[in-house]
């Protein structure tokens, strides 16, 4: 049985759109990415066999954003800030439970 390199790979959109159009960067995508990177490191979850947090370009879901996706589960989330990101971290990444209230249609 082959194991995945990471248990979870989280892509956080940090895309900046021109002309002031709605985008994840202006909705806190970068700060939430940084927050999740710091928290997974502090919890000893970062790295091979654990969790990887990455920036991503536009997912094309700007109207639902800010947006992140968790693989291999292919669960899409929208969040309002660090408190929602912490809930995703604790529930999904630590306990393996999808946060239904923040989940977007796949």
- Tell me the per-residue pLDDT of 57-81, one tens digit each, with 9 for 90 and over: 999 898 887 999 999 999 999 999 9
Contact 24, 14 (CB under 8 A): yes
CA distances, 28 to each of 16, 50, 100 (Å): 11, 24, 21
Contact 52, 6 (CB under 8 A): yes
From CA 7, how far away is CA 63, in angstroms rounded? 29
The pLDDT value recorded for residue 2 is 63
- Where the chain has pLDDT below 70, the residues are 1-3
Domain ranges for the chain: 16-66+74-104
Pairing of strands 51-56, 67-71: unpaired
């Amino acid at each position: 049985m082959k194991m995945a390199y990471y248990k979870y790979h989280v892509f956080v959109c940090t895309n900046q759109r021109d002309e002031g159009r709605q985008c994840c960067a202006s909705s806190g995508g970068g700060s939430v990415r940084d927050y999740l990177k710091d928290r997974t490191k502090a919890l000893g979850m970062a790295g091979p066999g654990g969790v990887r947090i990455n920036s991503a370009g536009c997912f094309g879901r700007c109207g639902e954003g800010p947006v992140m996706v968790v693989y291999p589960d292919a669960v899409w989330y929208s969040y309002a800030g660090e408190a929602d990101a912490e809930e995703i971290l604790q529930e999904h990444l630590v306990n393996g439970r999808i946060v239904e209230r923040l989940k977007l249609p796949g």
